[in-house]
Amino acid sequence: MNYVNWGLLYDFTIRDIKSKYRKSHLGMLWAVFTPLLTWGVYSLVFTSILGLHKLPGVNTDASSYIFSLFAGLSVFFFFSEVLSASPSYISSRPSFVKKVVFPINILIISKVLASAFGFLINIILLCAFIFVFSKEFPLSSLLFPVIMIPILLFIIGMAYILASLGVFIPDISQFTNPLSRMLFYATPIVYPLSILPEPYQTLIWLNPMTSMVEPLRSILINSTGPEWNQLGLFMLAAVIVGLVGFFVFNRVKRGFADVL
């Protein structure tokens, strides 16, 4: 990607971020208020009403459970936003597809980065609350970029594949929304991984979101390093998905203009 394309990527990413809040009175402040409101609702439901933090096998204080919950929700909202929207990343912008000189891969990467912006806001808010409550900043959180690299690789690769399929199979967008809801319950977000029987833990690790949530909790909530073996396997899977997505996209993009 040359200098001109990097400039385009930056411009499109900023435009995609601003487009989320363009017609609202509070504008970009919603990037802060939305996660706080969501955090408050989920915290009320799962602690004060359902009391999940008191379940056998969980047995933790409410604040630790809420921080752990918010870490999982931050990853889930990032992943599910891209999963649900990526089938329309290309099909919703036919005018760019028909411009031969335009690098249309920017349409995908900029959307993912715009979603990643919201994810980073959530993580910053989470770190701020952890610091306020614990009066210390865990040094393990400095490993966040290491965790973020495979997450971005995997999600960009997934977006490439779904955006390519979405051009030729519009119905795929009807499948991604229920899949996102299924993944919510198949990921240790409202419950810890340790509460599951051993065979189910192995099965849950096959869910890529588990490999995103658990390392993030380790470095931010537990103040420990991630499970390096699991992180290494996820990095390998992320590289494979990223390469496959890039290959599929470049293989089929010549047919986009004919369909759109």
Q: What is the pLDDT of residues 41-88, one digit of tens each?
A: 888 887 777 766 676 666 567 778 888 889 999 999 999 999 999 999
- Of the pLDDT bands very low, low, confident and very high (cuts 50, 70, 90), residue 209 is very high
Of how many residues is the chain composed? 260
Amino acid at 226: P
Residue with token string 């919510």 = 184
Using CA atoms, how far residue 161 sits from 23, 202, 220, in Å, is 31, 26, 31
Given a cut of 70, whether residue 16 has pLDDT beyond it is yes
Write down the pLDDT at residue 25: 67
Q: What is the pLDDT of residue 173?
A: 82
CB-neighbour burial class of residue 28 (10 A; exposed 0-12, middle 13-18, buried 19+)? middle
Q: Is the model's pLDDT at 4 over the cut of 60?
A: no
pLDDT at 56: 63
Detail the DSSP E strand segments found in the chain: none
Structure confidence at residue 155 (pLDDT): 96
User: In the predicted model, is pLDDT for residue 38 greater than 90?
Assistant: no
Token match 């971020």: residue?
Answer: 17
pLDDT band at 100 (very low <50, low <70, confident <90, very high): low
Tokens read off for 7: 């400039």
Q: Whole-number mean pLDDT of the chain?
A: 86
Distance CA 159, CA 165 (A): 10
Contact 258, 246 (CB under 8 A): no
pLDDT confidence of residue 224? 85
Mean pLDDT value across residues 245-255: 90
The answer to whether residue 36 scores a pLDDT higher than 90 is: no
Single-letter amino acid, residue 168: F
- Report the alpha-carbon distance of residue 48 to residue 189 in Å, rounded: 17
Give the residue-averaged pLDDT of 196-216: 88
Distance CA(81)–CA(151), nearest Å, equals: 14
Domain locations in the chain as residue ranges? 3-259
Question: Is there a contact between 89 and 111 (Cβ–Cβ < 8 Å)?
Answer: yes
List pLDDT tens digits, range 124-172.
999 888 888 877 777 888 899 999 999 999 999 999 999 999 999 888 8
Region 170-191: mean pLDDT is 87
Mean pLDDT, residues 117-125: 92
With a cut of 90, say whether residue 238 has pLDDT above it: yes
